[in-house]
């Protein structure tokens, strides 16, 4: 089976070939017709007229001898001599123009007859001149018979020329008919080839292209009068772009998957460890509590005791964080405005903020709408972000919590809470890492706070991100979708 391109090229080539050949044949025929016509006009007609001239010049010789016989005027014989001269010339012309054997034969016979006739006639004239009028009259009669025979021959000779003209005409008519046939065949062939080409173009190119155009993107309105190939190429470019995006997304999700698997195994380990540590730790705490109830301690002992208690609390926090990190947060959602949680957190951290010399303000036009969230978890996230901010701003600073309602891709309607501090910002190289578990820049940190916060927000179907420029503070952006429950 030929491929489509070959088929179209073949059809086109055939079409062009037939058209050109048809044209060439026409041109050739016109030349032939022209030649034929010229031949008929210039040659056949000329010889025909020459034959006629011959006949006329013969006819003109008639009567002079009779006149001479009647009145004996020699002028008649002079005139006869002139006409004879004319006839001879005509005969020479005719001989030069003859084309066929038959014409040649005819003219030769005319010449022969004529020369005998002239001889006989000359005898008649001699008899008349010599006064032998009786013999002259008898011979004269015979010359008349000869004269008419030559006239017949001349008539015959003319007929031959007429015949050849008729033959030329028949020939040209035949050629014209052939030309018509060829032209008709060429027209028919071109028509068939054209139809075939149209069929191939429509059936194998235009219809498939149109179908492809429609299939390539079903979301777009059906193709109207526009250029299908153009639209199709746009669609294909779109598809290629989509494929690229998909490829990139796939790669990213594979990376995420690898990361997630890593984290899952680390998490399991951490959970196991934290779980085992917590049990004895609680026992220690219980005993400390008991000791604290009963002991009378000196100030130094009291200080030691406090430090031990403090450090044990710290260990406990670390263990709690590990455990929380290792188990996905169980959301206990309720319909509540996140603004309420923000207020609660600020109230809760009031003393802490004061001790860090940090002024926290809320910027909101109206309280956020009620959405399905776990207030405890959101509280934890906010506490975490605020504590991080406080830690970052050595010597104090300001925190602004900005709340707004908006539209965010791909969540749709969402509430957005921004926590901005006036701290030193986060180094570019660390911006990605801060959300990773176990990453910390602080001595006492566990490196789990932000990764837990991130997971809680993602557990709500939202997202936590940060904007930071070195020296211009840091903004954490919490996006929570407003879902129609």
Query: Which tokens sit at 267?
Result: 């998490």
- Identify which of residues 245 and 313 has a Cβ nearer to another protein in the complex: 313
- DSSP secondary structure string, 320-349? HHHHHHHS------EEE-HHHHHHHHHHHT
- DSSP secondary structure string, 222-250? PP-SS-HHHHHHHHHHHHHHHHHHHHHHH
Strand segments, DSSP code E, in 304-461 are 334-336, 358-363, 371-373, 397-408, 412-421
Pick the stretch among 175-183, 285-293, 339-347, 415-423 that binds another protein (CB under 8 A): 285-293
The least distance separating another protein from the CB of residue 432, rounded to whole angstroms, comes to: 29
- Identify which of residues 217 and 316 has a Cβ nearer to another protein in the complex: 316
CA distances from 165 to 106, 107, 158, 313, 426 (A): 17, 18, 11, 135, 112
Helix residue ranges per DSSP H, 98-132: 101-130
- Identify which of residues 2 and 294 has a Cβ nearer to another protein in the complex: 294
- Identify which of residues 279 and 365 has a Cβ nearer to another protein in the complex: 279
- Identify which of residues 146 and 278 has a Cβ nearer to another protein in the complex: 278
Binding mask 358-397 for another protein (x = CB under 8 A): ----------------------------------------
Query: Which tokens sit at 38?
Result: 């010229």
Name beta bridge partners: 372.
Answer: 335
Pick the stretch among 104-112, 173-181, 287-295, 445-453 that binds another protein (CB under 8 A): 287-295
- Identify which of residues 18 and 274 has a Cβ nearer to another protein in the complex: 274
Binding mask 261-280 for another protein (x = CB under 8 A): -----------------xxx
Q: Which of 112, 286, 295, 359 binds another protein (CB under 8 A)?
A: 286
- Within residues 408-467, the interface with another protein by CB under 8 A covers none
- Identify which of residues 56 and 288 has a Cβ nearer to another protein in the complex: 288
- If DSSP codes are grouped into helix, strand and coil, which group holds residue 368? coil
Q: Cβ distance 418 to 385 under 8 Å?
A: no
- If DSSP codes are grouped into helix, strand and coil, which group holds residue 200? helix
Q: Cβ distance 86 to 59 under 8 Å?
A: no
Q: Which of 17, 28, 31, 289 binds another protein (CB under 8 A)?
A: 289
Q: How far apart are CA 483 and CA 485, in angstroms?
A: 6
Q: Which of 285, 364, 418, 431 binds another protein (CB under 8 A)?
A: 285
The least distance separating another protein from the CB of residue 285, rounded to whole angstroms, comes to: 3
The least distance separating another protein from the CB of residue 478, rounded to whole angstroms, comes to: 24
Q: Cβ distance 378 to 340 under 8 Å?
A: no
Q: Cβ distance 480 to 381 under 8 Å?
A: no
- Identify which of residues 279 and 485 has a Cβ nearer to another protein in the complex: 279
- Within residues 164-223, the interface with another protein by CB under 8 A covers none
- Identify which of residues 423 and 449 has a Cβ nearer to another protein in the complex: 449
Q: How far apart are CA 189 and CA 153, in angstroms?
A: 54
Task: For residue 475, give the DSSP letter.
Answer: E
Q: How far apart are CA 336 and CA 368, in angstroms?
A: 9
CA distances from 248 to 252, 300, 455 (A): 6, 63, 24
Per CB under 8 A, 287 contacts another protein = yes
Per CB under 8 A, 144 contacts another protein = no
Query: Which tokens sit at 104?
Result: 């040649």
The least distance separating another protein from the CB of residue 410, rounded to whole angstroms, comes to: 31
- Within residues 312-331, the interface with another protein by CB under 8 A covers 323-324, 327, 330
Q: How far apart are CA 452 and CA 435, in angstroms?
A: 8
Per CB under 8 A, 282 contacts another protein = yes
- Identify which of residues 259 and 290 has a Cβ nearer to another protein in the complex: 290
Pick the stretch among 214-222, 281-289, 294-302, 470-478 that binds another protein (CB under 8 A): 281-289
The least distance separating another protein from the CB of residue 378, rounded to whole angstroms, comes to: 17
Q: Which of 77, 288, 318, 362 binds another protein (CB under 8 A)?
A: 288
On the 0-12 / 13-18 / 19+ scale of CB atoms within 10 A, 217 is: middle
Q: Which residues contact another protein (rule: CB under 8 A)? A: 278-280, 282-283, 285-290, 323-324, 327, 330
């Amino acid at each position: 089976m030929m491929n489509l391109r070959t088929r179209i090229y073949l059809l086109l080539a055939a079409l062009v070939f037939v058209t050109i050949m048809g044209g060439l044949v026409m041109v050739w025929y016109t030349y032939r017709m022209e030649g034929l016509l010229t031949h008929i006009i210039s040659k056949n007609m000329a010889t025909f007229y020459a034959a006629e001239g011959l006949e006329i010049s013969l006819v003109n010789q008639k009567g002079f001898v009779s006149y001479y016989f009647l009145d004996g005027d020699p002028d008649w014989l002079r005139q006869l001599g002139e006409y004879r001269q004319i006839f001879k010339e005509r005969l020479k012309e005719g001989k030069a123009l003859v084309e066929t054997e038959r014409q040649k034969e005819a003219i030769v016979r005319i010449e022969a007859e004529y020369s005998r006739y002239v001889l006989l006639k000359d005898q008649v004239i001699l008899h008349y001149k010599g006064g032998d009028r009786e013999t002259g009259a008898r011979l004269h009669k015979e010359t008349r018979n000869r004269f008419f025979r030559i006239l017949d021959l001349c008539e015959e000779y003319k007929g031959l020329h007429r015949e050849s003209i008729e033959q030329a005409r028949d020939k040209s008519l035949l050629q014209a008919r052939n030309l018509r046939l060829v032209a008709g065949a060429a027209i028919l062939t071109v028509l068939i080839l054209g139809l075939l080409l149209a069929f191939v173009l429509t059936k194998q190119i235009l219809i498939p292209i149109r179908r492809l155009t429609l299939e390539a993107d079903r979301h777009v309105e059906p193709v109207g009068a526009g250029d299908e190939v153009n639209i199709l190429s746009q669609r294909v470019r779109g598809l290629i772009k989509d494929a690229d995006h998909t490829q990139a997304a796939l790669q990213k999700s594979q990376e995420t998957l690898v990361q997630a698997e890593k984290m899952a195994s680390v998490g399991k380990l951490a959970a196991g460890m934290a779980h085992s540590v917590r049990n004895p730790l609680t026992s220690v705490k219980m005993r400390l509590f008991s000791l604290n109830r009963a002991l009378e301690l000196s100030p130094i002992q009291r200080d030691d005791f406090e430090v031990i208690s403090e450090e044990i609390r710290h260990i406990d926090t670390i263990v709690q964080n590990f455990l929380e990190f290792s188990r996905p947060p169980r959301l206990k959602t309720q319909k509540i405005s996140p603004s309420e949680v923000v207020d609660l957190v600020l109230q809760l951290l009031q003393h802490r903020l004061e001790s860090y010399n940090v002024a926290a303000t809320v910027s909101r036009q109206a309280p956020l709408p009620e959405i399905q969230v776990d207030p405890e978890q959101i509280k934890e996230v906010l506490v975490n972000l605020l504590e991080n901010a406080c830690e970052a701003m050595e010597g104090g600073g300001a925190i602004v919590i900005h709340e707004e309602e908006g539209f965010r891709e791909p969540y749709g309607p969402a509430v957005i809470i921004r926590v901005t501090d006036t701290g030193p910002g986060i180094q570019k190289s660390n911006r990605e890492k801060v959300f990773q578990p176990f990453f910390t820049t602080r001595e006492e940190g566990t490196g789990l706070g932000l990764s837990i916060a991130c997971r809680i927000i993602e557990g709500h179907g939202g997202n936590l991100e940060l904007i930071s420029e070195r020296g211009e503070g840091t903004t954490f952006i919490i996006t929570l979708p407003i879902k129609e429950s």
